[in-house]
Structure 1
Amino acid sequence: MPKTTYLNRKAFSIENDDLRVTVTVEGGHIAEVFSKAAGVNPLWTPHWTTSEPSEFGPAQEELFGNGVEATLLCGILGHNTCLDLFGGPSPAEAAAGMTAHGEASILPYEITEDGNTLHCRLPMPLAELDFERTITLHGADVLIHEKVINRTAMERPLAWTQHVTLSPPFLDPATTQFRTTADRAAVIESDLGEAPYLEAGKKFAWPHAPLADGKGTQNLQDMKPDAPASSYVAARMISAAKAVSWTAWSPVSRLAFSYVWQPGDFPWLGIWEENRSRSFKPWNNTGVARGMEFGTSPFPESRRAMIERGRLLDTPTYKWLPARGELTATYWIRTAVTDSIPETVSMPSVK
């Protein structure tokens, strides 16, 4: 049945002979893309027990605190959508009820199933947006189409990021390999975590990021294998490419896991690494994750900071959403069992 539970969360699932895809009702997170051939779900399952954001109470506050990230962290799984913030709210926005990365990651979605497709819809009362997503299985691939609708009579700057995060058992900092169609990149200027190893604010040619100690570079096609380590880098996608992508490959499961999209839709890929560096709750120096977060904005930052930044590496850091208008984007998840990582991944021909 499509209506189900996943880790004690309300959810919907669709599956075929190759994949099972599960989406949580609250937050609309793509919690799993389980490859039946490889026997693994690459997407992030945090080491803490998640719960419904609507049930956030004293028990959750004890673990997650009461800051702007608390309700997001209590429910986060796999791939969540940041809309219309990528980062934290301002103090005034937080006082008005806005949380980190916006409402789309915590509110309950209206989800229906039609054969091999899930239809997900979310009215966003604070942002005055409507968000729609369809998820369709095509063999070992997944087609995702999204639409953001502006209910106001004002044009507005929009942050819209696919917050895709990987974790063990698929992710191993020592062995998992990565490829992406980027050309330039920049390390975030601040908030590099508790164990930063890259030079803050440094711009560089992809994939060789300068180390903080000045002794060489880190090839970001690999994670830093030894813990603790933390970093955040924004990579600019190659704008002239027909399609851009990132791929993660595990030599243990032999699964190549990729996202493919048009660079005009999402020109940035944010790469966040957490390797047992965060000492505070709920992390407790235990979390291992790598975010591969593609979107309209390079860095998680406030709306004001995003607008004031304007451009980075000669590329806009947000999109304009027309008054009473809409923006759409289509992208694919591709899976393949292979003995080596593909250097490039193309857009499937199926529409």
Structure 2
Amino acid sequence: MELKNEKVCFEMTLNGSAFTKFQLLNKKVNPLDWKLPTARLPETNIGSFDFQGHFLCLGTWGMPTEGEKKAGLKFYGEVNTEIWKVDAPLSNENNSQSITTSCKSPVEKLDIVRKVELFNNSSVIKISEKIINNLPIGRPYNILQHATMGGKFINQKTILNSNAGKGFYQNGQYTRNGYDDIESTSYDWPYAVLPDGKTDLRLSNQVQKSFVSTHIFPESEKYGWATLTNVEDRFLIGYVWDTNDYPWLNIWHQYEEGEVKGRAIEFATCGMWQPFEYMMSNESRFFGHNSFEFIDAGETKHKLYFMFLLPIDAHFTEVEKIQVNAHSLDISINYNGKNKVQILKF
């Protein structure tokens, strides 16, 4: 399925409803050119679909418990393993075009309705999602946007910027003995203190291992944001969201076969890669933040975020700030010590 205007092309698949392309028409590189085939996924996902581009984790983040496996739950939830349906085909409104899709979760009963809206004459997309709990009981759940960049977009020079705050490392080749010490061993963005030493998370050439760095946001930040910039092809991809919707940011650094294969911007309601039983049986909050959200019986949760593409020039240093207005994203960029605000209207 495709949305396209005079600036960008966007594609998604109904198989798991992953976003597989978001590309400036005058650039040859697609940031969402990343895939993890089912052959590399756990047995729970045999017969489902590849993880690719920007896909959705809903219900759980990580492996299901033994009981959940027997009940039919999948790794990273069900909706990325189901075929979505089109509720409202491509429609043109006053200043945008949109497609609405949905997915019914056969086991977890967490259904989702998603509207993807591309604004005319703009490189901004707005994604609105409704999560519906069709169980007769309230329950903890999680939602995580697994936005993964790869292909020719990711290399040793790719730069990641964000307004994230305190964080801790986990997963990959930096395994933790436990989570009891996550506050005392925490660090402040953009510098992570890993078992190998201190590293700058903004840079892609610092760590030759795969790992996840998990962060919350300062209380002063109403909106969270993160960008990945390809300085050679001179453009960036970015995401902006309300920190009440998604209070966590998980940065995945994928290093394989001697090179960086992917970097992911995973904004979420969760930051601890553990089952609910662990989080409810232990003191697992991180500076007051639970690693799950509660949804009541029959309740509908509403989530919203923006994604965008932006050309840059050869003097790019970093994205310093993103301001969300009623009809624009104001992106402050440092170009060799000089600040320039670039406005994306929607």
- TM-score relative to the length of structure 1: 0.82
1:291 equivalenced with 2:264 (yes/no): yes
Once residues 308 and 190 of structure 2 are traced to their aligned partners in structure 1, the CA distance between those partners, rounded to angstroms, is 22
Residue 332 of structure 2 corresponds to none
Q: State the SS of the aligned residue for 2:236.
A: strand
Q: 1:223 aligns with which of 204, 210, 233?
A: 204
Residue 165 of structure 2 corresponds to 183
1:247 equivalenced with 2:223 (yes/no): no
Residues 299, 18 of structure 1: CA spacing in aligned structure 2 closer, same or farther, 3 A cutoff? farther
Contact 2:158 2:203 in 1 (8 A): yes
Residue 117 of structure 1 corresponds to 98
Residue 162 of structure 1 corresponds to 145
Contact 2:45 2:81 in 1 (8 A): no
Residue 11 of structure 2 corresponds to 22
Residue 337 of structure 1 corresponds to 311
Once residues 199 and 92 of structure 1 are traced to their aligned partners in structure 2, the CA distance between those partners, rounded to angstroms, is 24
Contact 2:234 2:311 in 1 (8 A): yes
Instruction: Supply the RMSD in Å over aligned alpha carbons.
Output: 2.4
Once residues 12 and 266 of structure 2 are traced to their aligned partners in structure 1, the CA distance between those partners, rounded to angstroms, is 18
Q: 1:132 aligns with which of 100, 107, 113?
A: 113
Residue 153 of structure 1 corresponds to 136
Q: State the SS of the aligned residue for 2:322.
A: coil
Residues 347, 37 of structure 1: CA spacing in aligned structure 2 closer, same or farther, 3 A cutoff? farther
Contact 2:105 2:111 in 1 (8 A): yes
Residues 311, 192 of structure 1: CA spacing in aligned structure 2 closer, same or farther, 3 A cutoff? same
Q: 1:262 aligns with which of 226, 236, 242?
A: 242
Contact 1:198 1:212 in 2 (8 A): no
1:64-103 counterparts in 2 under 5 A? 64=40, 67-70=43-46, 74-103=49-78
Once residues 120 and 114 of structure 1 are traced to their aligned partners in structure 2, the CA distance between those partners, rounded to angstroms, is 13
Cα deviation for residue 348 of structure 1 reads 4.8
Residues 324, 264 of structure 1: CA spacing in aligned structure 2 closer, same or farther, 3 A cutoff? same
Residues 306, 31 of structure 1: CA spacing in aligned structure 2 closer, same or farther, 3 A cutoff? farther
Cα deviation for residue 65 of structure 1 reads 6.7
State the AA in 2 paired with 1:158.
Y
Once residues 175 and 142 of structure 2 are traced to their aligned partners in structure 1, the CA distance between those partners, rounded to angstroms, is 27
Residue 340 of structure 2 corresponds to none
Residue 212 of structure 2 corresponds to 232
Residues 324, 120 of structure 1: CA spacing in aligned structure 2 closer, same or farther, 3 A cutoff? same
Cα deviation for residue 97 of structure 1 reads 1.2
Residues 64, 206 of structure 1: CA spacing in aligned structure 2 closer, same or farther, 3 A cutoff? closer
- TM-score relative to the length of structure 2: 0.83
Cα deviation for residue 306 of structure 1 reads 3.9
Residues 38, 302 of structure 1: CA spacing in aligned structure 2 closer, same or farther, 3 A cutoff? same
Deviations 1:278-303 (A, max 9, x none): xxxxxxx7771112100000033323
1:349 equivalenced with 2:329 (yes/no): no
State the AA in 1 paired with 2:144.
T
Cα deviation for residue 274 of structure 1 reads 1.2
Q: State the SS of the aligned residue for 1:266.
A: coil
Write out the 4+ residue segments of structure 1 that deviate beyond 3 Å after TM superposition. Answer: 63-66, 69-72, 196-202, 224-227, 306-310
Q: Which ranges of structure 2 fall in alignment gaps of 5 or more residues?
A: 328-345
Deviations 1:230-250 (A, max 9, x none): 111111123332311001111
Cα deviation for residue 66 of structure 1 reads 5.6
1:269-288 counterparts in 2 under 5 A? 269-276=249-256, 288=261
Cα deviation for residue 147 of structure 1 reads 0.7
Number of equivalenced pairs: 311
Once residues 8 and 243 of structure 2 are traced to their aligned partners in structure 1, the CA distance between those partners, rounded to angstroms, is 26
Once residues 132 and 29 of structure 2 are traced to their aligned partners in structure 1, the CA distance between those partners, rounded to angstroms, is 35
Contact 2:200 2:206 in 1 (8 A): no
State the identity as a percent.
21
Deviations 1:238-279 (A, max 9, x none): 3332311001111111112110010000000011111116xx
Once residues 242 and 131 of structure 2 are traced to their aligned partners in structure 1, the CA distance between those partners, rounded to angstroms, is 17
Contact 2:34 2:52 in 1 (8 A): yes
State the AA in 2 paired with 1:160.
I
Once residues 172 and 219 of structure 2 are traced to their aligned partners in structure 1, the CA distance between those partners, rounded to angstroms, is 27
